[in-house]
Amino acid sequence: MRLRWLISAFLLITLVGGAWVYRTTHRPRPVLVKIDALLSPEDLRMSSQSVSVIGTVQPSAIYNQGSSEWWFTLEDQGRMMPVYYTGRVPSTFLEEGARVLVTGTMREGTFSAKELLVSVWM
């Protein structure tokens, strides 16, 4: 009887522990979408999920003095999208024609980026 109880407890602990490890380490990968998919009214379902977008930073990037908040515009095939990002950016971000990949969500017409990567190929 005691052996049966120990085996059951071991299996339960293993199952719960495995589920916890999976839940804490598995993050769904963001979907790569085009700017026009996020800006079109018929595809608003994308606004709640994390997505990645590639585009060219417009030269009118704005830096809020005294903080690491960035507001800039991404362009891709003639479509523009405002982006908000908090964090450090590499010096190549400020170069003319910098291509970036931002990951985040669309909120009230502005893309709120959690990650920003700058392409090394210009």
Q: Where are the domains of the chain?
A: 29-118
Nearest to 73 by CA among 64, 86, 62, 88: 62
- Could you tell me the pLDDT band of residue 21, with boundaries at 50, 70 and 90? confident
Share of the chain above pLDDT 70, in %: 75
What is the residue-averaged pLDDT of the chain? Answer: 79
Topology of the domain covering 29-118 = OB fold (Dihydrolipoamide Acetyltransferase, E2P) (2.40.50)
Phi and psi at 50, nearest 5°, equal -75, 125
Distance CA 25, CA 92 (A): 32
Mean pLDDT of 82-111: 87
Specify the pLDDT at position 94: 80
pLDDT of the residue at 113: 93
CA distance 31 to 106: 13
User: Can you list the pairs that 3-11 forms with residues at least 24 positions away whose Cβ atoms lie under 8 Å?
Assistant: none
Question: Of the ranges 22-26, 39-43, 82-86, which is most confident?
Answer: 82-86
State yes or no: pLDDT of 45 exceeds 70: no
CA-wise closest residue to 63 among 38, 83, 81, 80? 83
pTM above threshold 0.85: no
